[in-house]
């Protein structure tokens, strides 16, 4: 395989287009629509000129099957085609016409197998067969280049040496800079921007360059969660980003296997491995792929729950699917049965599993959520409890639920969690220190340590004083927790998908102290005015607070994920039983 020849072809094409289109910048006729391209979108005069320049350059150097947005698929050059070339002669046409310095020429090349060198050969190929990519920022002159199994590189303007590039190692979304494809933004993407999940959002309007920015670590990710990304837009950037260590998939985490067709479309998420996992968790269903391993957690005080766990283990082993057991469950089963005949192991690292099976009631689900922490692991919740409002499947549906997950034929429901930070002063210090408590799936409750005694506190929303409250306590509930303690204390029921929190005083002294529903992006601050107070997270985690301490509550950066089973309003019937 002659990579040097491929490189020579790519370099000649990008340099020729750069030289040919620069005089067209600012020419009023460059912006005229002259036809509808093969991909079904309007073609500007500057696009046609750039494509013709590329065709002439390719014909001088090789015979190839060319895929381009304007002409579609065409054989160029004499003799049997040696190469497949995917071209976007100008990526970022609007920027070019308006002299915004972010527009490029993008080219990707793969070798056509010798046994079948004709235009039909590409029917057996896809984007993964592309072996060389090159993208040149026409406005600034820098060139990006990637070659299969040899890495990715940049040549800065006026430099002579190619420098190796790789994706960033940013791990937290809050620290990330993300490029977004702006056309036809979905509600999901708009909420992502509104919620300020990342440090910066950038919209450049040139997909190939934005992928190269991710490849060099200048951006931490680039996303387009619509099915609008075209083959020609990303082919060159795909090879470069792939060779820089980036992960490139559709929004559900599936590797791209785009056919070599000018009309092919896909969604797109590209980043480093850690951020990619988080972004797919937000925008798609990465778990549509076959599960790696199930984690199993169960209540251990009921024989029928333990018997069901054994049946599940038998079923998973018959399906050839791995599993790990929560430590207490493992110890209980070890004393109860001949565990050595099974491939049973303790779940030591939550990152080893892709899904969590929760066998029990709401308490078991909350334990599973705490165990998962901030990891993107969905819960398959099986009802073996007394209330089970958080559970999605009955005992009779457990094997059906497992099969749904194995086949990838299921939906994920994302639930908001509440982060909790306690700010306190130590006697020898004047400034506040802080302690981060675990996230709450249901609610954060502040109550007195002494029975039948009221606590006294102030409530602030986004820094604005709301009221001074004397009550037995106060609940800040997520939408998921609105059917739990909050409901018993007089709070409203919220659909789990709502972006909101409920603030509910418990038995308030003043009659007008009523529940408040606040926007999910709000910061809720509660200042303790008198007496010691106990902070309780999901009925389990406890922290003692004293006079002057503050509790700051806001939407967590992490979510809880559930494999969807029962419909929400059908579960409400349980509240009437």
As to burial, measured by CB atoms within 10 angstroms (0-12 exposed, 13-18 middle, 19+ buried), residue 4 is exposed
The upper half-sphere exposure of residue 82, i.e. CA atoms within 13 Å in the direction of its Cβ, equals 14
Nearest to 381 by CA among 373, 372, 390: 390
Beta strands 378-383 and 550-563, pairing class: parallel
- Look at the alpha carbons of 528, 533, 536, 541 in this order and tell me if their dihedral is positive or negative: positive
Could you give the CA distance from residue 175 to residue 173 in angstroms, rounded to a whole number?
Answer: 5
Beta strands 524-530 and 455-461, pairing class: antiparallel
Backbone angles phi, psi at 174, to 5 degrees: -60, -20
Q: Which residues contact 239 (CB under 8 A, 6 or more apart)?
A: 108, 130, 131, 132, 133, 146, 147, 148
Q: Which two tokens stand for residue 341?
A: 């005949």
Q: How would you classify residue 235: left for phi > 0, otherwise alpha for psi between -120 and 50, otherwise beta? A: alpha
Backbone angles phi, psi at 94, to 5 degrees: -60, -45
Q: Which two tokens stand for residue 36?
A: 């509808």
Per residue, what are the HEC states of 207-274? HHHHHHHHHHCCCCEEEEEEEEEEHHHHHHHHHHHHHCCCEEECCCCCECCCECCCCCEEEEEEECHH
15 is catalytic: no
Q: Which residues contact 123 (CB under 8 A, 6 or more apart)?
A: none
Could you give the CA distance from residue 3 to residue 566 in angstroms, rounded to a whole number?
Answer: 55
For residues 110 and 3, is the Cβ–Cβ distance under 8 A?
no
Q: Residues 362, 383, 472, 538: which is the catalytic one?
A: 362
Beta strands 322-325 and 293-298, pairing class: parallel
Transcribe 173-189 into DSSP letters: GGG-EEEE--TT--HHH
Report the chain's C-alpha Rg in angstroms: 29
Could you give the CA distance from residue 6 to residue 24 in angstroms, rounded to a whole number?
Answer: 28
Cα–chain-centroid distance for residue 469?
40
For residues 402 and 312, is the Cβ–Cβ distance under 8 A?
yes
Could you give the CA distance from residue 289 to residue 426 in angstroms, rounded to a whole number?
Answer: 50
Could you give the CA distance from residue 99 to residue 517 in angstroms, rounded to a whole number?
Answer: 48
Could you give the CA distance from residue 267 to residue 414 in angstroms, rounded to a whole number?
Answer: 20
Output DSSP code: residue 491.
P
User: What is the number of other CB atoms lying within 10 angstroms of the CB of residue 495?
Assistant: 11
Q: Which two tokens stand for residue 472?
A: 């037995």
Q: Which residues contact 395 (CB under 8 A, 6 or more apart)?
A: 308, 382, 383, 384
Q: Which residues contact 553 (CB under 8 A, 6 or more apart)?
A: 418, 419, 420, 421, 444, 476, 501, 523, 524, 525, 526
Active site residues: 362
């Amino acid at each position: 395989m002659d990579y040097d020849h491929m490189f020579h072809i790519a370099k000649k094409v990008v340099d020729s287009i750069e030289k040919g289109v620069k005089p067209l910048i600012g020419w009023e006729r460059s912006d005229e629509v002259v036809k509808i391209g093969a991909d079904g979108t309007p073609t500007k005069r500057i696009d046609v000129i750039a494509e013709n320049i590329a065709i002439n350059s390719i014909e001088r150097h090789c015979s190839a099957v060319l895929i381009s947005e304007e002409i579609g698929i065409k054989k160029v050059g004499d003799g049997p085609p040696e190469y497949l070339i995917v071209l976007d002669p100008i990526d970022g046409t609007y920027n070019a016409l308006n002299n915004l310095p972010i527009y490029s020429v993008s080219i990707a090349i793969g070798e056509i197998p010798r046994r079948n060198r004709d235009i039909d050969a590409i029917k057996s190929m896809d984007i993964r067969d592309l072996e060389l990519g090159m993208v040149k920022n026409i406005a600034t002159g820098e060139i990006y280049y990637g070659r299969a199994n040899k890495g990715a590189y940049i040549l800065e303007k006026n430099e002579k040496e190619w420098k190796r590039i790789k994706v960033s190692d940013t791990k937290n979304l809050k620290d990330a800079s993300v490029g977004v494809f702006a056309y036809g933004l979905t509600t999901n993407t708009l909420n992502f921007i509104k919620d300020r999940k990342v440090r910066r959002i950038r919209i450049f309007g040139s997909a190939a360059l934005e992928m190269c920015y991710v490849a060099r670590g200048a951006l931490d990710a680039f996303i387009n969660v619509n099915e609008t990304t075209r083959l020609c837009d990303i082919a060159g950037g795909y090879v470069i980003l792939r060779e820089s260590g980036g992960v490139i998939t559709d929004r559900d985490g599936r590797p791209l296997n785009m056919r070599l067709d000018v009309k092919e479309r896909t969604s797109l998420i590209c980043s480093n491995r850690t951020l990619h996992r988080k972004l797919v968790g937000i925008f798609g269903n990465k778990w549509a792929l076959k599960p790696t391993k199930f984690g199993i957690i169960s209540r251990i005080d009921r024989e029928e729950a333990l018997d069901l766990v054994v049946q599940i283990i038998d079923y998973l082993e018959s399906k050839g699917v791995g599993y790990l057991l929560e430590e207490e469950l493992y110890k209980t089963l070890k004393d109860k049965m001949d565990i050595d005949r099974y491939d049973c192991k303790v779940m030591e690292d939550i990152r080893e599993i892709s899904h969590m099976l929760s066998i029990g009631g709401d308490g078991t689900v909350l334990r599973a959520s705490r165990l998962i922490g901030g990891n993107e692991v969905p819960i398959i919740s099986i009802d073996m409890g007394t209330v089970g409002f958080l559970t999605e499947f009955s005992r009779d549906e457990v094997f059906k639920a497992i099969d749904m997950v194995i086949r990838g034929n299921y939906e994920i429901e994302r639930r908001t969690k509440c982060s909790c930070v306690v700010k306190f002063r130590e006697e020898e210090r004047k400034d506040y220190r802080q302690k981060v408590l675990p996230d709450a799936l249901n609610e954060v409750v502040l109550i007195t340590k002494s029975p039948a005694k009221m606590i006294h506190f102030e409530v602030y929303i986004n820094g604005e004083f709301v009221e001074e409250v004397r009550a037995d306590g106060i609940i800040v509930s997520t939408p998921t927790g609105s059917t739990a303690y909050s409901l018993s204390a007089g709070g409203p029921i919220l659909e789990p998908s709502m972006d909101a929190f409920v603030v509910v005083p418990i038995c308030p002294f003043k009659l007008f102290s009523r529940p408040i529903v606040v926007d999910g992006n709000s910061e809720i601050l509660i200042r303790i005015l008198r007496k010691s107070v106990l902070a309780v997270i999901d009925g389990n985690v406890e922290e003692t607070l004293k006079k002057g301490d503050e509790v700051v509550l806001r939407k967590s950066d992490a979510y809880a994920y559930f494999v969807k089973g029962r419909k929400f309003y059908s579960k409400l019937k349980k509240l009437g039983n």
